Amino acid sequence: MSEGQIRQSLSGFYDIYSEGQTYRTRARGNFRKRKITPLVGDRVTFESTSPKEGYVLEILPRDNELTRPPVANVDQGVVVTAVASPEFSTGLLDRQLIALEVSDITPVIYFTKTDLIDDARYQEFETLAAGYRKIGYTVCLTREPFATEGLDQLKATLKGQETVIMGQTGAGKSTLLNHISPDLALATGEISTALNRGKHTTRKVSLMPIAGGLVADTPGFSSYETLTIDYRDLCHYFPEFLNVASDCRFRGCVHVNEPGCAVKDGLTNGDFLQSRYDNYLQLLTLLKNQKPIYNKKK
């Protein structure tokens, strides 16, 4: 029996990487009975008679898992965000950051298409980036798109980590990966659309070794999960609010109308981004009005 990590899943086969070698395996029949699906990124025990045949025996405990893309044990998520075309929205960016925070995945923000905006607009993004860095997020923003300095910063971030790349369709995810690892030559938009016209596109998920780390090859990951958290927990996923929450007068303060609220004070003092608080209020209302989901699959 050996231990390894699933690096690719394709049509019921799982390619496991263990001590420098890859083994093609299938899941044991009892996995289906127990309604367990191995995921790319899973650390597993397996047995194999040859590199071409073997069985996954057990999935070791997961740190986290995503449904889109179906990947486990993710360390960080790079949110690729275009400053224009598609039009930039702090709302969408914050939704993606929260989705990662909820899954206990470290977010990294990478801004693309900076050549499409003028200097005044770029300054606004510099200010915004500074606000996100103050929260503790890594932000890559350069005046020239895909400038060496931004790419080097990202490569250093990828090293030794398992990463998903996410962002709106058209944000430039494939282009970014091609810049980091030119030998990948990932198909950008038009080509992949042409290939996906067939009805039976094979769902292949894989982890690619890039810049000394592993990157989930899922350029289709453009949407975020529907948030199914309780509205009272939302503030836990805004790190800057969480940091000062213990100074609020009331325990369980949701930072809206309560007196003696440290978040509202911080906002008045300019400690927080106004856009973050506005998006927080918007999401809070949305979650409050959301009908509870019963029989939710665990």
Q: Which tokens in the block code for residue 67?
A: 């449904």
Per-residue pLDDT tens digits of the chain, which is 298 residues long = 999 999 999 988 999 999 999 999 999 888 989 999 999 999 999 999 999 999 999 999 999 988 877 899 999 999 999 999 999 999 999 999 998 999 899 999 999 999 999 999 999 999 999 999 999 999 999 999 999 999 999 999 999 999 999 888 888 888 898 899 887 765 554 444 444 444 444 467 889 999 999 998 664 444 455 678 899 999 999 999 999 999 999 999 999 999 999 999 999 999 999 999 999 999 999 999 987 666 555 4
pLDDT of residue 225: 56
pLDDT of residue 235: 96
Instruction: Tell whether 114 is in a known binding site.
Output: yes
Q: Which tokens in the block code for residue 245?
A: 């929450």
pLDDT of residue 269: 96
Structural domain spans, the chain = 2-61, 66-216, 231-289
Instruction: Tell whether 171 is in a known binding site.
Output: yes
Instruction: Tell whether 91 is in a known binding site.
Output: no
Q: CB neighbours of 224 closer than 8 A, spacing ≥ 6?
A: 95, 96, 99, 166
We find that the CATH architecture of domain 2-61 is: Beta Barrel (2.40)
Instruction: Tell whether 173 is in a known binding site.
Output: yes
Class of domain 66-216: alpha beta
Class of domain 231-289: mainly alpha
Instruction: Tell whether 112 is in a known binding site.
Output: yes
Instruction: Tell whether 248 is in a known binding site.
Output: yes
Instruction: Tell whether 169 is in a known binding site.
Output: yes
How far the first Cα of the chain sits from its last, in Å, is 30
- Cα atoms in the Cβ-side hemisphere of radius 13 Å centred on 204: 10
- Tokens 């931004």 belong to which residue? 150
Instruction: Tell whether 172 is in a known binding site.
Output: yes
Q: Are 36 and 59 in contact (CB under 8 A)?
A: yes
Closest to 64 (Cα-Cα) out of 103, 113, 108:
103
